[in-house]
Structure 1
Amino acid sequence: MSGSGRERISNRVMNLGDLLSEAARRFPDRPAVIQGERSWSWAEMIARVDGFASSLAALGIGPGDKVIIHARNSLEMFETMFAVFKLGAVWVPTNFRILPADVAHIAEASGARAIIYDAEFAAQADAARSAGAQILVCFDRPRDGEHRYADLVTAGLGTEFRAAPVERDDPCWFFFTSGSTGKPKAAVLSHGQMAFVINNHLADLMPGMTENDVSLVVAPLSHGAGIHQLIQVARAVPSVLTEARSLDAGEVFRLIETHRVTNIFTVPSILSALVSDPAVDAHDHTSLRYVIYAGAPMLREHQKAALEKLGPCLVQYFGLGEVTGNITALPPHLHEIADGPGVRIGTCGVARTGIQIEIQDDSGRALPAYENGEICVIGPAVFNGYYRNDAANEAAFRNGWFRTGDIGHFDDAGFLYITGRASDMFISGGSNIYPLEIEEKLVACPSVVEACVVGMDDEKWGEIGVAALVLEPGAVLDVPALKATLAERLAGYKIPKRFEVFDALPKSGYGKVTKALVRDALQRRMADGGSSLEAAQ
């Protein structure tokens, strides 16, 4: 042992699976999860989790083992998080919409020993088995050689499963990136890092939350919503699950009214869809305290529409999965419904407590306020690194700073503004163009509901901006009028050269409009010869 003060005497930390144990000890009879007419108490949930963990241990799953979860939101899916944590194993949730080949990649990249899945995803389970997973657990209809989840829970009931001892940097969750720039990579989240994340979310996003709050789940638990609901367990807040297989605004607002929901995690596209639905005016949603949106910038016109419908309850945060959402926060009192002097339009907030942000140029030099560069961060929320991927780790870190790949700048008061992803930028006629600024201006134009701008190859300009638009029902695109409006708000070289109207923009499995999906849709339409692209003069 060293007495220098530099080295830690112990790296032991709480096993995060015991957050559920603590909630059950303090509030055994209060509801933990609600779905439809069913409700499960904290005591019931910990008994089920301990039973399942005991059975998995008997099957040979233990510390360090990787367990894939490929399922829709459910009580059982949520339970697997805590069972895997308590085992000291690693939870590897997937987007249930991905293809079998994608699951095979995740299983191979993670070295998964087991997969737990919904029966409708048997092909994905088979892909995981082919990639090395040895234990298959099905929630409802197991096949020969597989295990039924309910049977494993029942077999272990009555066992108080003691959580495995863990250290600060022991992995608990492989958070696979979206793979927008290649195959998805496993970002390693640890027990110690996630303990900081939980405290940071409670302090900066949802201060004052108690067991009397209620949380509604409207996004997949496999990613951001899973982190959000883990935080709810730390305060013994019940989670309400929807029953619809896709977003149903009527159900969402009915549940908010029925259960007096106080907080929700969502992404901008889902939030915009909710507040534009007539159901928002048909139900009482005054119980909402924190409607958290993240995962993508929210265009200003959409932000104002949400504020108008829901009131001062919006909370924005910015942060990649690798930093578990912990880069900036914009709390309710900093959301302004009206534009005017002093309103910081377009900001994603200020640095989270304990997190340091620096805007850096390509050489790693810190840049002054108002100068765009790469957003880089350090702090306890930064992940361990990418699993078994030295090349990715070398590219992602520089002088200890995590490089987000996002471009932005500070103002003189320390508010951060995101210009866009470095990979979203395109060069037209020698000028760097960032789509986010253009998209902001487009959705402020009459009849434009959604907009996504991408750079596409062009013989004359190298690349040109192409705008994919969604219009109000019944509206017709008037290209000359649209260009005239944009000319009052943008430099001429930033105005898209082409425009395309869609009934809806393509979205990822998490409800995000991604540049890659939009570009693919545009290219398919052009290749099919059915393009109605309008060229700018």
Structure 2
Amino acid sequence: MTKGPRGGVGPISTRVMNLAHFLTQAARRNPQDIGFVWGERQWTWAEMENRVNAMAAALIAEFGVTKGDRILVQAANCNQMFESMFACFRIGAVWVPTNYRQSPEEVAYLAKASGACGMICGAAFPGHAKACREAAPDLGFIFAIGEADFGEDYDRIVERFLGHACKSVAVDRDDPCWFFFTSGTTGRPKAAVLTHGQMAFVITNHLCDLMPGTGRDDASIVVAPLSHGAGIHQLAQVAHGVKTILPPAEKLDVTVIWALIEKWRVSNAFTVPTILKMLVEDASVDLFDHSSLRYVIYAGAPMYRADQKRAIEKLGPVLVQYFGLGEVTGNITVLPPAQHIAEDGPEARIGTCGFERTGMEVQIQNDRGEEAAPGMTGEICVIGPAVFAGYYDNPEANAKAFRNGWFRTGDLGHMDENGFLYITGRSSDMYISGGSNIYPREIEEKILLHSDISEAAVLGIADPMWGEVGIAVCVARAGSAVGPDDLNRWLHGRIARYKMPKWFVFWESLPKSAYGKVTKKLIREELEKRGELLPDGRKVSA
């Protein structure tokens, strides 16, 4: 050990394991085990390691990629996309995945904002490749996943370089490995910089807090884009030699998901509440054996109590919730299966998203950055090794995101005396009616307890008398005749009068983001598009 400048023990080195070594370890220990399944195709860990080595070697030798360079990836879920993550990590490059549902213009912005030197693009997205080439002058190369006019096929490049050895580049704890773009629900997406050291902690934490005991005999199914939370979840599977099952089609087919769970004896899955709701409400849930499931992990948005109870009824004690933004890589709180209680009551802690993740500290703070008392609403702030390194090339956003070392999530909530966190909603979702703060989530929870309502979202709109009032956008279950008067009567006595929405509208479905989330921004835009809001934000009178 060496003495630090103040007499303490200072670090000899900040070097950490390159994350690509997770794949190397799996290939060494279990070379012939199945590592990845996509439709009818399978790859062993040894085959995956060889393919990643080949692509890593090609990126260096043929495309001139060096440590720190950014590689944009626009592709639907596929084995090549997953491999590209490890290839980038291996050579010290930064993986910059997009959500493949984004438009060419949106992806072109990501190419320019990230300063990407190259692009790997699915053959189905020629417009995206063209837009990126025009918008990003530093984009030196584009190659395709599949046959395409805009570049050579990924697999042909791999075939040319098979057999080439490519050792993992040495990396330090704070070397970036992944630009995790925010969903941009309140403006342009920002690139959250994830690092090798941070992500090593995240993977360890996922295995510790979300799916303890997960190992070689397990299997994990992908039901979300690998570009974001699902990619992190699958990286954790690789770390413990767990096979990944990728459904054959881009579009969610609930029956196929349950069939794959039965076939491969899937033990864990990561998804979002909207997809989990679809899975357990579909009749096919009862047609296949899903007893192998030990952990069904959901995140990305709170799960309403009514949906939670239905999932517990269908799947048993397997639900795991975690709360954590991309900037904290999912590592803020966890609610394990034992805390998912089906019966209402004090032990159920209805509405909680759990307690602090191992090694992380959460604090509710007021506007001055002071810790709030238990039960008091404030901003959810967090510190710990899972917090990202900051936003790329965005000092203004970084200044707003941190205060006294704490990362400010922008979410509002409170914590009880036992350390369980309750999310009230995004600070941007709160509205003020007649001088009182209104938190939409509380109202949405009550609406969804009505047996004829499938989805609901409440947001504040302008009102000349009260400043703002609530409008509830609801989706009725098939065959239901529920209407505004029914919901008015239902809510009477369940919430305070000042919290009652002034308007109720019914749609066939709620718009969802590319990540499967219901966002207030999309609902407001849809209200405007349908002509239900005036230019000043007020409701068009019925």
TM-score by length of 1: 0.97
> C-alpha displacement at 1:181, in angstroms?
1.6
Structure 1's unaligned 5+ residue stretches are none
Paired position in structure 1 for 2:408: 403
Paired position in structure 1 for 2:122: 118
Distance 1:521 1:464 in 2: 18
Paired position in structure 2 for 1:351: 356
> C-alpha displacement at 1:535, in angstroms?
7.6
Distance 2:442 2:385 in 1: 32
Paired position in structure 1 for 2:381: 376
After superposing the two structures, state which structure 1 stretch, 473-482 or 353-362, moved more: 473-482
Distance 1:127 1:2 in 2: 53
State yes or no: 1:96 paired with 2:100.
Answer: yes
Paired position in structure 2 for 1:310: 315
After superposing the two structures, state which structure 1 stretch, 376-385 or 120-129, moved more: 120-129
Secondary structure of the residue aligned to 1:142 is coil
State yes or no: 1:416 paired with 2:412.
Answer: no
Paired residue for 1:481, among 481, 486, 492? 486
State yes or no: 1:127 paired with 2:131.
Answer: yes
Report the AA paired with residue 137 of structure 1.
Answer: F
1:242-269, CA deviations, whole angstroms, 9 ceiling, x for partnerless residues? 0122111100000000100000000000
Paired position in structure 2 for 1:21: 24
Paired position in structure 2 for 1:429: 434
State yes or no: 1:323 paired with 2:328.
Answer: yes
Q: 5 Å matches for 1:164-183?
A: 164-183=169-188
Distance 1:160 1:201 in 2: 31
Distance 2:399 2:42 in 1: 47
Distance 2:9 2:414 in 1: 34
Paired position in structure 2 for 1:471: 476
Paired position in structure 2 for 1:8: 11
Paired residue for 1:451, among 441, 451, 456? 456
Paired position in structure 2 for 1:262: 267
After superposing the two structures, state which structure 1 stretch, 33-42 or 218-227, moved more: 33-42
Distance 1:141 1:401 in 2: 47
State yes or no: 1:137 paired with 2:143.
Answer: yes
Report the AA paired with residue 509 of structure 2.
Answer: A
Report the AA paired with residue 142 of structure 2.
Answer: L
1:184-204, CA deviations, whole angstroms, 9 ceiling, x for partnerless residues? 000000000000000001111
Paired residue for 2:78, among 70, 74, 77? 74
TM-score by length of 2: 0.96
Report the AA paired with residue 218 of structure 1.
Answer: V
Report the AA paired with residue 71 of structure 1.
Answer: A
Distance 1:142 1:342 in 2: 57
Q: Contact 2:271 / 2:297 at 8 angstroms: preserved in 1?
A: yes
Cα distance, 1:359–1:496 mapped onto 2, change above 3 Å: same
Length, aligned pairs only: 532
Paired position in structure 2 for 1:157: 162
Paired position in structure 1 for 2:522: 517
> C-alpha displacement at 1:2, in angstroms?
4.0
Paired position in structure 2 for 1:55: 58
> C-alpha displacement at 1:461, in angstroms?
2.0
Distance 1:55 1:43 in 2: 18
Q: Contact 2:532 / 2:540 at 8 angstroms: preserved in 1?
A: no
Q: Contact 2:23 / 2:49 at 8 angstroms: preserved in 1?
A: yes
Paired residue for 2:69, among 65, 72, 80? 65
Distance 2:51 2:516 in 1: 31
Distance 1:224 1:13 in 2: 23
Structure 2's unaligned 5+ residue stretches are none
Q: CA RMSD in A?
A: 1.4
Report the AA paired with residue 121 of structure 1.
Answer: F
1:425-478, CA deviations, whole angstroms, 9 ceiling, x for partnerless residues? 011122111110011000001301110111112222222111111111011233
Paired position in structure 2 for 1:44: 47
Secondary structure of the residue aligned to 1:15 is coil
Cα distance, 1:352–1:432 mapped onto 2, change above 3 Å: same
Distance 1:31 1:253 in 2: 20
> C-alpha displacement at 1:527, in angstroms?
5.3
Report the AA paired with residue 270 of structure 1.
Answer: I
Give the fraction of aligned pairs with identical amino acids, expressed as a percent.
56
Distance 2:540 2:402 in 1: 42
Q: Contact 2:533 / 2:540 at 8 angstroms: preserved in 1?
A: no
Distance 2:20 2:131 in 1: 28
